[in-house]
Amino acid sequence: MDEARLTELLNRVRSGGTQVADAVAELRQLPFADLGFAVVDHHRALRQGVPEVILGEGKTAEQIIAIAHELARTGQNVLITRIEDEKANALMRDMPAVRHNAIGRTCTLESSPITVLSEQKVALVSAGTSDMPVAEECAETMRMLGIGFERIFDVGVAGIHRLLHKRPMLEDASVIIVIAGMEGALASVVGGLIDVPVIAVPTSIGYGAAQQGMTALFGMLTSCASGITVVNIDNGFGAAFAAARILRMRKKA
Q: What is the pLDDT of residues 119-163, one digit of tens each?
A: 899 999 999 999 999 999 999 999 999 999 999 999 999 999 999
pLDDT of residue 91: 97
Q: Are 66 and 58 contacting, i.e. CB atoms less than 8 angstroms apart?
A: no
pTM across the whole model: 0.86
pLDDT of residue 1: 53
Q: Is the pLDDT of residue 22 over 80?
A: no
Q: Is the pLDDT of residue 3 over 70?
A: no
The pLDDT of 62-79, averaged and rounded, is 92
Q: Is the pLDDT of residue 45 over 90?
A: no
Q: Is the pLDDT of residue 8 over 80?
A: no
pLDDT of residue 4: 65
Q: State the CB neighbour count (10 A cutoff) for residue 211.
A: 14
Phi, psi of 100 (to 5 degrees): -110, 125
CA distances, 215 to each of 1, 37, 47, 75, 182 (Å): 41, 37, 35, 42, 7
pLDDT of residue 27: 63
pLDDT of residue 211: 95
Among 201, 50, 220, smallest CA distance to 133 is for 201
Percent pLDDT > 90 in the chain is 71
Query: Residue 184 burial by CB count (10 A; 0-12/13-18/19+): exposed, middle or buried?
Result: buried
Q: Is the pLDDT of residue 74 over 90?
A: no
Residue type, 141: T
pLDDT of residue 253: 67
pLDDT of residue 41: 79
Measured between alpha carbons, how far is 84 from 100 in angstroms, rounded to an integer? 10
Domain 118-252 in this protein, CATH class: alpha beta
* Domain ranges (residues) in the chain: 31-109, 118-252
Q: Is the pLDDT of residue 227 over 70?
A: yes
